[in-house]
Amino acid sequence: MSEISKSIKRTVLLNPGPLTTSDAVKQALLVSDICPREKEFGILMDSVRQDLVKIVHGEKTHECVLFVSSGTGAVEACLTSLYEKNKSFLVINNGAYGKRIQNICDRFEISHIDLNCEWGEPVDLIQYESLLEQNTDSISAVVFVHHETTVGILNPLNEISDIAQKYKKTVIIDAMSSYAGIPMDVQKNKIHYLISSSNKCIQGMPGLSFVIGERASLEKIKNLNPKSYYFNLYENYIFQKEQKQFQFTPPVQVLYALRKAIDEYFEETEEGRFNRYSELYKSLIIGLKKMGFHFLVGEKHHSKLLTAILNPKDPKYNFNDMHDYLYERGFTIYPGKGTKEGTFRLANIGALCRKDIEEFLQHLKEYFIKFKINS
Ligand X SMILES: *Cc1c(COP(=O)(O)O)cnc(C)c1O
CB of 137 to ligand X, least distance (A): 29
In the complex, least distance from residue 1 CB atom to ligand X, rounded to whole angstroms:
31
* Closest distance to ligand X from the beta carbon of 175 (Å): 8
**Which residues have a Cβ under 8 Å from the Cβ of 87 and sit 6 or more positions away?**
111, 138, 139, 140
- The answer to the question of residue 76 lying near ligand X (CB under 6 A) is no
Q: List the Cα angle 235/218/227 in 5-degree steps.
A: 50
Residue 170 within binding range of ligand X, rule CB under 6 A: no
Binding residues for ligand X, rule CB under 6 A, total 12
Q: Closest CB to ligand X among 176 and 184?
A: 176
Residue closer to ligand X by CB (options 141, 145) is 145
The answer to whether residue 181 forms part of the interface with ligand X (CB under 6 A) is: no
Q: Is residue 92 at the binding interface for ligand X, with CB under 6 A as the rule? A: no
Q: Which stretch binds ligand X (CB under 6 A): 51-59, 65-73, 162-170, 320-328?
A: 65-73
Identity of residue 129 = E
176 in contact with ligand X (CB under 6 A) = yes
Dist. CA 119–CA 289, nearest whole Å? 22
Distance of alpha carbon 202 from alpha carbon 259, whole angstroms: 10
Binding mask 137-156 for ligand X (x = CB under 6 A): --------x---x-------
Does position 97 bind ligand X by CB under 6 A? Answer: yes
Selected from 15, 21, 140, 177, the binder of ligand X by CB under 6 A is 177
Cα separation, 228 vs 76, in Å, equals 9
Dihedral sign for Cα 201, 204, 206, 207, please. Answer: negative
Closest CA to 287 of 14, 10, 105: 14
Dihedral (Cα; 373, 17, 305, 296), 10-degree rounding? 40
Q: Does 303 bind ligand X (CB under 6 A)?
A: no
Binding to ligand X by CB under 6 A, coded x per residue (else -) over 197-216, reads: x-------------------
Is residue 17 at the binding interface for ligand X, with CB under 6 A as the rule? yes
Q: Which stretch binds ligand X (CB under 6 A): 70-78, 157-165, 236-244, 275-283?
A: 70-78
Element (H, E) at 6: helix 3-7
Is residue 15 a contact point for ligand X (CB under 6 A)? no
Query: Per-residue string for binding with ligand X, 216-255, x by CB under 6 A?
Result: ----------------------------------------
Range 217-235 burial, b when 16+ CB lie within 10 A, else e? bbeebeebebbeeebbbbb
- When asked if residue 18 is in the footprint of ligand X (CB under 6 A), the reply is no
3 state SS of 177: coil
| Angle formed at CA 168 by CA 165 and CA 171, multiple of 5 degrees | 60
> Could you tell me which residues are beta bridge partners of residue 66?
210
Binds ligand X by CB under 6 A, chosen from 13, 15, 16, 93: 16
**CA torsion 39→40→42→48, rounded to 10°?**
160
The answer to whether residues 181 and 146 touch, using CB atoms and an 8 Å cutoff, is: no
Among 76, 174, 214, 270, binds ligand X (CB under 6 A): 174
Torsion of CA 324, 327, 329, 331, to 10 degrees: 140
In the complex, which residues of this chain contact ligand X (CB under 6 A)?
16-17, 70-72, 97, 145, 149, 174, 176-177, 197
